[in-house]
Structure 1
Amino acid sequence: MPRNNMDVLCLLQEHGAILEGHFVMPSGFHSQTYIQTSLLMQHPHLAQRIAGALSDKFTKKADVIMALTPSDSVLAQEVARARGVRAIFASRADNGEMLLKHNFTIKEGENVLIVDDVAVSGRKINKAIELVGKMGGNVIGVGVIVDRSMGYLPLAVPLRALLSYPMQTFTAKECPLCAAGLPFSKLEETGK
């Protein structure tokens, strides 16, 4: 199947990656739906196809592919493989700012393509854009598997997604799920 014809929604549904319940998102917002793209990215053949399709959305040359978190490093690695460049990932400092660890660097003038699994508010993406700018790099765009935003994201660079899946999010104070007394859903974690 050509990469640009990939049905990401179907893949997410087939792999049980669209969860319903009462979730507190990493951003702190509440939502009735949670999209767990890692259930796709655990399969190398799907990770390669998804990353290739994401890479195809950007024609500008990139020197570095940067994931916003260590958990998205598989996506960055596969996009970097498709483009023949290196991959790095950012981490969050205790104060919420983005930083690079593990001796990762962005050289002055390098073009950086940022990748993320799911975009919701754009706050995390903007922090990454600031980090790249402070290091002297140029962000050429942001590629995401799923854009969950309800429309406009306040970004200074193009954001391109494989799937637009707008979903309403709420602050804890405004959450109708909280008002209805629905308990929080837990994401299953396995381990020994």
Structure 2
Amino acid sequence: MQDEEVLAEFRSSQALLEGHFLLSSGRHSAHYLQCARVLMDPMRASRLAAALAAKMPRELRQQIGKVIAPAMGGVIIGHEMGRALGVEAMFVERPEGTFELRRGFSIEPGEKVLMVEDVVTTGLSSREAIKAIEDAGGEVIAEAALVDRSAGSVDLGVPFYPLVTLSFPTYADDELPPELAATPAVKPGSRAKP
């Protein structure tokens, strides 16, 4: 799947939004990708996951024992990646502010895990989820995401395989361009501002 085909999936599902958004990273943007909308069609979610799995080297895919994603945004794409790779899919969640495995999910010591996200901007959530997986005994061997919003600059400490890389600019509170500063920010994500 080429970048334009991926973006066409986002556009056709009305998942590429324009306005003034406060991202989960605490930064502002004039664009937001609402992955929940692009993933609400099970067939589309399956196509995107299959395309994402195909972007990873075969040798890496063969090592993966489990797929783990952060709740809430990563649950659907994580599940679909598990299906595409033929392995179990689980998720970490933040009941007390830090990621942890719950609901009877467990990892065998040293089990090789693929971390899966919907969108990566700064990598903060990814690094926190990777730490939780490692604390639970897993070995994160790579991360995959539908979208890399960092324009290729994020360092997760593991190999990173995004389906598409975008470079929509983001801004700190004190860097807002006048057109964004003039409108109130909408917070469409699921994570509280750091």
**TM-score scaled by structure 2?**
0.86
Following the alignment from structure 1 to structure 2, what is the Cα–Cα distance between the partners of residues 180 and 74?
Answer: 33
Give a deviation string over 1:49-74, Cα, whole Å, max 9, x none.
Answer: 11111122222221111111133211
Q: Partner letter of residue 106 of structure 2?
A: T
SS at match of 1:182: coil
Query: 1:10 is aligned with what amino acid?
Result: A
**Alignment RMSD, CA only?**
1.9
* Gap runs ≥5 in structure 1: 188-192
Number of aligned residues: 183
Contact 1:41 1:47 in 2 (8 A): yes
1:65 equivalent in structure 2: 67
Using the alignment, how far apart are the partners of 2:171 and 2:95 within structure 1?
Answer: 25
Residues 34-56 of structure 1, C-alpha deviations (whole Å, 9 max, x = no match):
00121121111111111111122
1:118-160 Cα deviation digits (max 9, x unpaired): 1100111111111122122111211111111033212211111
In structure 2, distance between residues paired with 1:19 and 1:183:
15
Shift of the alpha carbon at 1:180? 3.5
Match of 2:93 in 1: 91
Q: Which amino acid aligns with 1:38?
A: A
Q: Name the structure 2 match of 1:167.
A: 168
Would you say the 8 A contact 1:109–1:138 is kept in 2?
A: yes
Q: TM-score, normalized by length of structure 1?
A: 0.87
Q: Give the counterpart of 1:48 among 46, 49, 55.
A: 46
Q: Secondary structure at the match of 1:150?
A: coil
Q: Which has the higher contact order (CA 8 A, sep 6+)?
A: 2
Structure 2: distance between partners of 1:139 and 1:177: 41
Shift in Å, 1:114? 0.7
Work out whether residues 113 and 138 of structure 2, in 8 Å CA contact, stay in contact via their aligned partners in 1.
yes
How far did residue 178 of structure 1 move?
Answer: 7.6
Structure 2: 5+ residue stretches without partners: 189-194
Deviates more, 1:178-187 or 1:119-128: 178-187
Report the alpha carbon displacement of residue 81 of structure 1 after superposing the two structures with TM. 1.1
Other-structure match for 1:121:
122
Structure 1 runs (4+) deviating above 6 angstroms are: none
1:1-192 counterparts in 2 under 5 A?
4-5=1-2, 7-58=5-56, 59=58, 60=60, 61-95=63-97, 97-177=98-178, 180-185=181-186, 187=188
Work out the CA distance in 1 between the residues paired with 2:131 and 2:187: 32
Distance 1:78 1:178 in 2: 38
Percent of aligned positions that are identical: 34
Contact 2:14 2:37 (C-alpha < 8 Å) held by counterparts: yes
